[in-house]
């Protein structure tokens, strides 16, 4: 029995391009775009930084799991850009795999540091950015191994990443003869 995909789920460490790639994928495929962190902020009426500061990471991860489950239950075609830590819980990995096609975006440490060093909105990067990125990459070394597709974005532009994902998606879900296939909005 083959899996039925309603969602393309982008996972990966912060700074690997999930948000940018999700925008372009949604535009090119005609899917809805959902950013998990943005959905959490709308629901909670607070920023991710505020949630971390007021409730701590454990409470944030609980909220993150709830919102992810709600999004994954939707039957519509969507691109979901997750936060870098959404894969830390087994239940999240299971729901992503059960209901979506999971693409892991990766990048080397130097590229990630260059991309996120000035971003003050990331609560896990408070203080020594280089040290935190290195430490988190080490602890999450295998966290994205469950993905259906892995792409290293270190030396690719957003358009190149999107093109590679679309090509793989089209091989996975070929368009039926009537032209109204699984790649369109339903």
The answer as to whether 15 is a domain residue is yes
CATH number, residue 23: 3.40.50.300
pLDDT single digits (tens) 87-132: 999 999 999 999 999 999 999 988 988 888 766 566 556 667 788 8
Nearest to 156 by CA among 5, 2, 20, 62: 20
Q: Is residue 84, in this structure, part of any structural domain at all? A: yes
pLDDT at 5: 75
pLDDT value of position 185: 38
Instruction: Specify the DSSP class assigned to residue 47.
Output: -
In a domain, 179, yes or no: no
Q: Report yes or no on 184 lying in a domain.
A: no
Q: Is residue 1 in a domain?
A: no
Question: How many residues does this entry show for the chain?
Answer: 186
Q: What is the pLDDT of residue 100?
A: 94
Report how many domains make up the chain.
1
Distance (Å, rounded) from C-alpha 100 to C-alpha 183?
13
In a domain, 178, yes or no: no
Instruction: Identify the residue whose tokens are 């239940």.
Output: 91
Q: Which two tokens stand for residue 100?
A: 């979506």
Alpha carbons 120 and 42: distance in angstroms, whole number: 20
Q: Which residues contact 82 (CB under 8 A, 6 or more apart)?
A: 9, 10, 11, 18, 36, 68, 96
User: 110 CB contacts (<8 Å, ≥6 apart)?
Assistant: none
Indicate if the pLDDT at residue 150 is higher than 70: yes
Looking at the domain assignment, is residue 181 inside a domain?
no
Neighbours of 186 (CB within 10 A): 11
Q: Which residue has the higher pLDDT, 79 or 83?
A: 79
Residue 145 counted as domain residue = yes
Question: By residue range, what is the domain housing residue 125?
Answer: 7-171
Q: How confident is the model at residue 136 (pLDDT cuts 50, 70, 90)?
A: confident
Could you tell me the pTM of the whole model? 0.86
């Amino acid at each position: 029995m083959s899996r039925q995909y309603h969602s393309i789920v982008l996972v990966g460490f912060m700074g690997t391009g999930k948000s940018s790639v999700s925008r372009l994928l949604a535009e090119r495929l005609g899917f809805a775009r959902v950013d998990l962190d943005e959905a959490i902020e709308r629901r909670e009426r607070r920023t991710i930084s505020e949630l971390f500061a007021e409730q701590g990471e454990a409470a944030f991860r609980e909220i993150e799991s709830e919102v992810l489950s709600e999004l994954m239950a939707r039957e519509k075609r969507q691109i979901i850009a997750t936060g870098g830590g959404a894969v830390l819980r087994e239940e999240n990995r299971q729901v992503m795999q059960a209901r979506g096609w999971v693409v892991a975006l990766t990048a080397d440490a130097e590229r990630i540091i260059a991309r996120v060093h000035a971003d003050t909105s990331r609560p896990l990067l408070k203080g020594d950015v280089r040290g935190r990125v290195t430490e988190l990459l080490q602890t999450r070394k295998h966290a994205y191994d469950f993905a259906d597709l892995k792409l290293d974005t270190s030396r690719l532009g957003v358009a190149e990443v999107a093109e590679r994902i679309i090509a793989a998606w089209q091989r996975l879900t070929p368009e039926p003869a009537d032209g109204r296939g699984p790649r369109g909005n339903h």
